[in-house]
């Protein structure tokens, strides 16, 4: 006869899993802050653009991405970068666990967009591609709603097809004003990483 698993044991396992996920998100956030604090002069003195490996779990093919709207730097930024200066490379077919943190007094949200144009050139990001995931707002109010300073939100997108995408703010005009990064899903990428130019 098989013994039933106690509810206490199940709760403990759930708490441990949550701690691991939060720890990975915090680690990514700290690493992005450290990496994005380097000056552009230091980056341009190297012969190749530096890569920074992202946290990931190869057993369930999940990449952990943390984007932060910093209170310092450009008004419309992710991790201190704007206008696609950050490029995130992930293996095609993997899952994206994305955490978005807002440190600004302005509301912001985060959207994964299968883009039709090379840069956001419309106040409405849906005019430039298909929105696949919205974090920090709903699919009906992404142009006007977002999370406020000190808040965070997370979302999961599974099995991302090969292609080039944006991670951008959906509030009207924010992406068009520079609040976007590029995400490349490729079968040639085996370890997820980020490059900042």
* pLDDT tens, position by position, 94-124: 999 999 999 999 999 999 999 999 999 999 9
- Label each residue of 64-123 as H, E or C: EEEEEECCCCCCCCECCECCCCEEEEEECCCEEEEEEEECCCCCECEEEEEECCCCCCCC
Structure tokens at 182: 């590029």
Q: Structure pTM? A: 0.75
**Alpha-carbon distance 138 to 153, whole Å?**
12
Please give the average per-residue pLDDT across 25-46, as a whole number: 37
* pLDDT given for residue 73 in this prediction: 85
Structural domain spans, the chain: 7-196
Class of domain 7-196: mainly beta
Q: Both ends of the chain: CA-CA distance in Å? A: 61
């Amino acid at each position: 006869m098989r013994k039933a698993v106690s509810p206490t044991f199940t709760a403990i396992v759930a708490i441990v899993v949550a701690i691991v996920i939060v720890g990975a998100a915090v680690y990514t956030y700290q690493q992005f802050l450290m990496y994005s604090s380097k000056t552009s002069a230091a980056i341009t003195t190297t012969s190749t653009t530096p890569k920074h490996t992202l946290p990931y779990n190869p057993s369930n093919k999940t990449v952990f991405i943390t984007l932060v709207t910093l209170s310092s730097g450009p008004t419309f930024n992710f991790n201190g970068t704007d206008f696609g200066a950050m490029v995130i490379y992930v293996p095609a077919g993997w899952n994206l666990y994305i955490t978005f943190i807002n440190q600004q007094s302005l509301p912001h949200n985060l959207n994964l967009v299968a883009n039709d144009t090379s840069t956001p050139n419309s106040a409405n990001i849906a005019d430039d591609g298909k929105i696949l995931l919205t974090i920090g707002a709903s699919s009906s109010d992404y142009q006007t709603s977002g999370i406020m300073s000190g808040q965070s939100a997370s979302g999961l997108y599974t099995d991302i097809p090969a292609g080039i995408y944006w991670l951008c703010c959906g509030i009207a005009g924010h992406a068009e004003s520079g609040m976007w990064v590029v995400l490349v899903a490729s079968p040639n990428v085996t370890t997820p990483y980020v490059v900042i130019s």
